[in-house]
Amino acid sequence: MASYEDFQKLEIKTALIETVTPHPNADRLYVLGIKVGEVRKQIVAGIRAHYTEDQLKGKQIVIIDNLDPAVIRGVESQGMLLAASDPTMLTVLVPDRLIPDGSKVK
C-alpha cells in the first residue's frame, strides 16, 4: 500500500502535446514532444492503437513529470502520460478546462 507521502513525491502536471511521431521501432508507440511550463521534453506512450496523430497534437494531457528517464525500444522517455483503460479501450486523462501547461495536479 502506498502512503500519502509516497503520493506527494510524484510531480503530476499538465502538459501540452506539440508533436506526435510514430515510434521508429514499435508499432504501438508514439513519441510525443510535450511542453510542461517552459520545459520541452519527450515521452513515449503506448497509445497508438487508440489515437491518431491529429487527435493528439495540441491536446492538453496529465503526466508524471519527475520519473527517471527510461529508454523504451531505443528512444528516451522523460515522463509518463496518464490514461485509463479496460480490456477494449484506452482514454488519455485530460483536464476538463484549459489550464496553463505545467500546472500541478493535486
Global pTM exceeds 0.75: yes
Phi, then psi, of 102 in degrees rounded to 5: 95, -5
pLDDT at residue 76 in the model: 98
What's the rounded Cα separation, in Å, for the pair 55 and 14?
17
pLDDT confidence of residue 94: 97
pLDDT in single tens digits along all 106 residues of the chain: 999 999 999 999 999 999 999 999 999 999 999 999 999 999 999 999 999 999 999 999 999 999 999 999 999 999 999 999 999 999 999 999 999 999 999 9
pLDDT of residue 92: 98
CB proximity list for 23: less than 8 A, separation 6 or greater: 29, 30, 31, 44, 48, 72, 73, 75
**pLDDT at position 70:** 97
pLDDT the model gives residue 58: 97
Domains identified in the chain and CATH numbers: 8-92 (2.40.50.140)
